[in-house]
Chain A
Amino acid sequence: QNDGYRTLSLSGHVGFASLPDQLVKKSIKQGFCFNILCIGETGSGKSTLINSLFNTSFDDPVSTHFLPSVRLRAQTYELQESNVLLKLTIVNTVGFGDQMNKEDNYRPIVDYIHAQFEAYLQEELKVKRSLFSYHDTRIHVCLYFISPTGHSLKSLDLLTMKRLDSKVNIIPIIGKADSISKTELQKFKNKIMNELINNDVQIYQFPTDDETVSEINTIMNGHLPFAVVGSMEEVKIGNKMVRARRYPWGIVQVENENHCDFVKLRKMLICTNMEDLREQTHIRHYELYRRCRLEEMGFRDIDPENRTVSLQEAIEAERHDFQLELQRKKEEIRQEFVQRMKEKDAILKEAKQQLQTEFEHHMLMLKEARLKLEEMEKGLEDEIAMFIHKKANAELLQSQATFSTPALSLKRDKDRK
């Protein structure tokens, strides 16, 4: 395990045992981020539970049942306890399970989770980056609220959890668990766990590899899903004010382990495994997302000939391909352009040709018309000439006639009259 490293024994106190303290000191300075996603139908008790978990009244308005699609609402709070500063982000689903057609209910949730991974990936891929001061918005844990029907999981539950189990740590929770009796509760829990196993849904398992926490974690793993009750009201029990829900038949105490699993949830979520949840999100879910995303973008570690390819070579090849594609498209457009020019040219030529023929036709017509006119003119002139000739002849005859028989002419004139 030490791969070739000598193990040395120290002959005195060196002092590097303070390393974890140095690390912790730095982390405290930076502060911690923790992001919780709550999925559950409207009225399943999400907001009340979060308020109870963190002993605070987070500002969260009640929503209606009539929203057209599922939306997510995220709010960040800064909590401080002793010297630890926690940046807590709570993301609530609004309108989950309310629609007539719930097919796409899971989609905005998956998109949100991916968007947070994407933002982190983008920061990681930047040339000039600042990861150590990056506000991590990736979802560390998903509390899935199961309706306390007492029967089994709804198909929407199975569908959604199946979609999310490889992207986020899921802790299933039965909300408003005070409506189920003790005996029914255990049957219900068993049914749920069986259904989850049968459908191969990978929910978050509390880690059992560290001896200090493995025992408690194993026990807790057996209590899943946690049946919780939340309340922001306080009731006086004995001489203490405790969180509880007052019914005519009794008082359900939130922090009483006999009444519900609230204390277990708080312990597991915050006191024991918060760091592990953050770590699992980073080294498992985020790495998976990153791998898929980079592969989607076309990068490989191993190329078709099974040699290890560096990202550089992959990007170079990609860029080369892209350049070729670009060239090809350019060429294609150029060809199109030339073609179009040719066609337009041909059309214009044809039009020109047409005009030419028409012109010539018209010119021909004009010529013919002119010829005709000339002929007519000539004809007319001829007629005029003939008429003049005739007139001259007639006048000659007339003058001759007046000399020979003026009476005749008179007579003729009289006859004429």
Chain B
Amino acid sequence: AGPVESKNEAAMSELVPESRQKPVVPMKPTGINANLLGYIGIDTIIEQMRKKTMKTGFDFNIMVVGQSGLGKSTLVNTLFKSQVSRKSSGWNREEKIPKTVEIKAIGHVIEEGGVKMKLTVIDTPGFGDQINNENCWEPIEKYINEQYEKFLKEEVNIARKKRIPDTRVHCCLYFISPTGHSLRPLDLEFMKHLSKVVNIIPVIAKADTMTLEEKTEFKQRVRKELEVNGIEFYPQKEFDEDLEDKTENDKIRQESMPFAVVGSDKEYQVNGKRVLGRKTPWGIIEVENLTHCEFALLRDFVIRTHLQDLKEVTHNIHYETYRAKRLNDNGGLPPMTVETEENHESNL
């Protein structure tokens, strides 16, 4: 019986793969504080980093969601001071409202102060415009997830591109109708579903239809409703990194948001200055005047202070959540490529 037994043992050991030998070198060193006795130049890394990022340029993808006629295109044009969206000049009555929600992404390149930005504005015509609007957020959620999917596929490649093209939605401006009462069920449903996958910034559109008191009351009510429904809009409380962030963001969350905005791409002469505004029989509404509306706050918030943070939250949190979920659903494997037309064409 001797020789037969040992042969079985050999067969068994072949099945269990030999575990990789662990390296015998230290891997995670511990930190020790060291005192510098003179200037070295470590802080020049800031300049080096700044130069590099300026050379590569930035991507920014912003989505606008809201019913037709709320001034989405105008607002985007006002934000970026250029004809980003060609619709805004005059409501073209010939254009049909689409039967379903369409997703239209248009990319532009803008440059300012040596910084090049690839701006993509994603419009969602048809949202909330049908008779039956149930599940009309689904195409939007699908689009956002598709962008995460695209990025994941690129990231998972063996031979990867130096810079993976970023088409993920960094910011979603949701336009609330200035009814003055409260949020509509559609608003709540949309924000409830989408705040889990993308940064949502709620915006009260066409705020020039409300007086100051009506505006303040409306904002308070909207904030309350969002809180009651557990909707976490950007900047989300749970992602505040430190006390400084928290105090700054708390102020924005509890006082300024949702921003009540007015958009315009026409200029008028006011007090000797040319300003963007809307001319009415009872006066000129200055878009960038903080006493008239909160457009300037929105612009500073989205572009001048939190643009990078919007991108980082999208990348480090929303994308990672999507990736973890995808990998878990597939048993730790990246998602399957469905042989679509796109793939087919690329092979020709």
* Chain A residues near B (Cβ < 8 Å): 2, 4-29, 32, 53-56, 58-59, 71-84, 86-89, 108, 111-112, 114-116, 119, 127-132, 135, 137, 210, 212, 266-267, 270-276, 279, 283, 287, 290-291, 294-295, 299-301, 307-308, 310-313, 315-316, 326, 329, 332-333, 336-337, 340, 343-344
Contact = CB atoms under 8 A, between A and B. Distances in A.
B82 A283 contact: no
A310 B334 contact: yes
A71 B25 contact: yes
B43 interface: yes
Given A270-B40, A336-B7, A23 B53 contact: yes
Contacts of B96: none
A81 B12 contact: no
Given A5-B118, A19-B117, A76-B30, A14 B40 contact: no
B40 A266 contact: yes
B308 interface: yes
Contacts of A210: 51, 55
Contacts of A112: 23, 25
Given A108-B25, A111-B23, A112-B23, A54 B34 contact: yes
Given A24-B46, A84-B45, A316-B333, A275 B52 contact: yes
Nearest to A299: B158
A86 B40 CA distance: 12
23 contacts: A2-B109, A6-B109, A12-B81, A13-B81, A14-B80, A16-B117, A16-B303, A24-B49, A26-B312, A27-B49, A76-B30, A82-B43, A112-B25, A116-B27, A271-B41, A301-B158, A307-B347, A310-B337, A311-B333, A315-B333, A329-B11, A333-B8, A344-B1
A249 B16 CA distance: 69
A344 B8 CA distance: 15
Contacts of A273: 48
A27 B305 CA distance: 15
Given A19-B308, A89-B29, A28 B303 contact: no
A78 B323 CA distance: 33
Interface string B64-96: 000000000000000111111000000000000
Contacts of A18: 303-305
Contacts of A72: 25-26
Contacts of B34: 54, 56, 58, 77-79, 88
A19 B307 contact: yes
Nearest 7 Cβ contacts at the A-B interface:
A17-B113, A275-B48, A22-B308, A271-B41, A310-B337, A15-B304, A76-B29
B243 interface: no
Interface stretch (B125-133, B184-192, B214-222, B324-332): B324-332
Interface in B294-343: 299-300, 303-309, 312, 316, 320, 323-324, 327-328, 330, 332-337, 343
B159 interface: yes
A57 B162 CA distance: 38
Nearest to B45: A274
B337 A276 contact: no
B238 interface: no
Interface residues of B, number: 96
Nearest to B300: A15
B31 interface: yes
Contacts of B307: 16, 19, 22
B211 to A, nearest CB: 28
A115 B37 CA distance: 33
Given A5-B108, A301-B157, A55 B38 contact: yes
B109 A54 contact: no
A23 B309 CA distance: 8
Contact of B332 (A24, A32, A79, A127): A127
A2 B160 CA distance: 20
A16 B115 contact: yes
Contacts of B80: 8, 10, 14
Contacts of A13: 81, 112
Contacts of A267: 41
Contacts of B106: 6
A32 B79 contact: no
A15, A59, A130, A308 — most chain B CB neighbours (10 Å): A15
A324 B117 CA distance: 51
